[in-house]
Amino acid sequence: MVENCNGKTNENLKVIKKIKYAGIFKKIDDIPDLRVELKNVFESKNHKEMVKYSLLLGQHILEKTNTEPCSEIKEGFDIIKKWQNGETGKGFAKFQEARNIADKLLRLAHDEKDPIKEKIYRIMAQITNTPHVKNHALWASDYAIKLINKMYPNNSDEIKKEREIQIELMKSV
């Protein structure tokens, strides 16, 4: 048993580990078995399904953090929806448009002083880039765990809850 910040014991704290990732993070506090399960579901999905998952994850994060989307987030979601509906090519959403919005979101994250908002911008940047590369959906999920770690330090129950939500969202598409 491990004692948490409130002096209560929590068996699940033993399963939080700093996991090395091949992705964008060197280490992240996570629950390895749930990360593996998410990755397995991810590998069973096609690109369009992961884009749909990204939108669901983005909406979930905005609701969880009670965040009103800024114009860049709204624009990113619009471009994703156009791509999802096949509205690409001349006069329609292009990968470069999504990447430009993601770059704006990353600049907002870089300039943001509030660590929660900074993580939200980084999640949304990854989500916005998902039409470009499927793996951005997985990286957005990992950023969401970094957000949970920031919102609820050393709280394995919240990490577990977030990974389970991500797994269910991903299975639903």
Nearest 5°: the CA angle 164, 166, 168 is 70
Q: 43-52, 53-62, 72-81, 150-159: lowest mean pLDDT where?
A: 72-81
Burial class (CB in 10 A: 0-12, 13-18, 19+), 30: buried
- Give the pLDDT confidence of 71-104 residue by residue, as tens digits: 999 999 988 888 888 776 555 456 677 778 888 8
Confidence (pTM)? 0.80
Q: Rounded CA gap, 72 and 26, in Å?
A: 28
Q: What are the distances in angstroms from CA 106 to CA 9, 53, 125?
A: 38, 21, 6
Could you report how far apart the first and last alpha carbons of the chain are, in Å?
37
Mean pLDDT (whole number) for 143-149: 95
Q: Which of 66, 156, 70, 79 is nearest to 107 (CA)?
A: 70
- Give the pLDDT confidence of 97-124 residue by residue, as tens digits: 777 888 889 898 899 999 999 999 999 9
